[in-house]
C-alpha cells in the first residue's frame, strides 16, 4: 500500500499517456513532443521510461535510450508544482542505474544552454560538457550543450 504522500518511481505504461501529454506541453511548450511521439517513445525498442507518482498522481517522467553501446537521456521533466524536491535527481539516478545494468559505456544528452536547473542537475551527477550544437532546439534556434557521463570503470551499485 502507498500512503498519500508517498513517492514512487515506476515504469511508464500507455495508461500514463494523457498525464504525460499534459506535462509535456506545460514543461516544453512549443518544443513539446507530439502525443504520437510520446506514445512511440515510451514503448519503443531500447527505451526505458519511468514516471514519478506522488499521492497517486504522475508528476514527473524521464527516459533513456540504449543502442547496444551508449545510452542517451531522451528527456526528463518534473511538474512545476513538484520541482526542487529531489524528484528530478531521483529519476536521473534511476536512468543511470539502468544504463549501468545494461552495460552502457557512456551516457549522452543534449540540454539547452539556457537551462540552468537541468545543467546543474546533470553536472552534479557527473556529466561533463562535450561540445555545442548550434541552433539545435526549434523554435528559436537555441543552442544545446552535448554532455557525457563515462560509466566505464564505475561499479554497478550493489
Ligand X SMILES: CC(C)(COP(=O)(O)OP(=O)(O)OC[C@H]1O[C@@H](n2cnc3c(N)ncnc32)[C@H](O)[C@@H]1OP(=O)(O)O)[C@@H](O)C(=O)NCCC(=O)NCCS
The residues binding ligand X (CB under 6 A) are 27, 76-78, 83-89, 111, 115-118, 120-121, 124
Burial of 43 (0-12, 13-18, 19+ CB in 10 A): exposed
* Residue closer to ligand X, measured from CB, 74 or 103: 74
* Residue closer to ligand X, measured from CB, 71 or 118: 118
Give how far Cα 118 sits from Cα of 15, 76, 140, 147, 154, Å: 27, 9, 19, 11, 23
- Residue 23 CB, shortest distance to ligand X, in Å, is 9
In 2-115, which ranges are continuous DSSP H helix?
17-28, 35-42, 87-102
Alpha carbon distance 141, 129 (integer Å): 19
- Residue 41 CB, shortest distance to ligand X, in Å, is 14
* Residue closer to ligand X, measured from CB, 68 or 84: 84
* Residue closer to ligand X, measured from CB, 86 or 103: 86
Q: Which residue's C-beta sits nearest to ligand X?
A: 88
Helix (H/G/I), strand (E/B), else coil: 118: helix
- Residue 85 CB, shortest distance to ligand X, in Å, is 5
Amino acid at each position: 500500500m502507498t500512503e498519500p504522500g508517498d513517492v514512487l518511481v515506476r515504469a511508464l505504461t500507455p495508461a500514463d499517456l494523457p498525464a504525460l501529454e499534459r506535462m509535456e506541453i506545460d514543461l516544453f511548450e512549443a518544443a513539446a513532443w507530439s502525443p504520437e511521439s510520446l506514445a512511440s517513445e515510451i514503448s519503443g525498442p531500447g527505451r526505458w521510461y519511468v514516471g514519478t507518482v506522488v499521492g497517486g498522481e504522475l508528476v514527473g517522467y524521464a527516459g533513456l535510450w540504449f543502442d547496444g553501446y551508449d545510452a542517451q537521456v531522451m528527456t526528463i521533466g518534473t511538474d512545476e508544482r513538484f520541482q526542487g524536491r529531489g524528484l528530478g535527481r531521483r529519476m536521473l539516478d534511476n536512468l543511470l542505474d539502468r544504463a549501468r545494468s545494461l552495460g552502457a559505456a557512456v551516457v549522452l544528452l543534449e540540454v539547452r544552454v539556457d537551462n540552468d536547473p537541468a545543467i546543474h542537475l546533470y553536472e552534479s551527477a557527473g556529466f561533463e560538457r562535450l561540445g555545442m550544437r548550434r541552433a539545435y532546439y526549434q523554435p528559436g534556434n537555441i543552442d544545446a550543450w552535448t554532455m557525457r557521463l563515462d560509466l566505464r570503470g564505475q561499479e554497478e551499485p550493489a
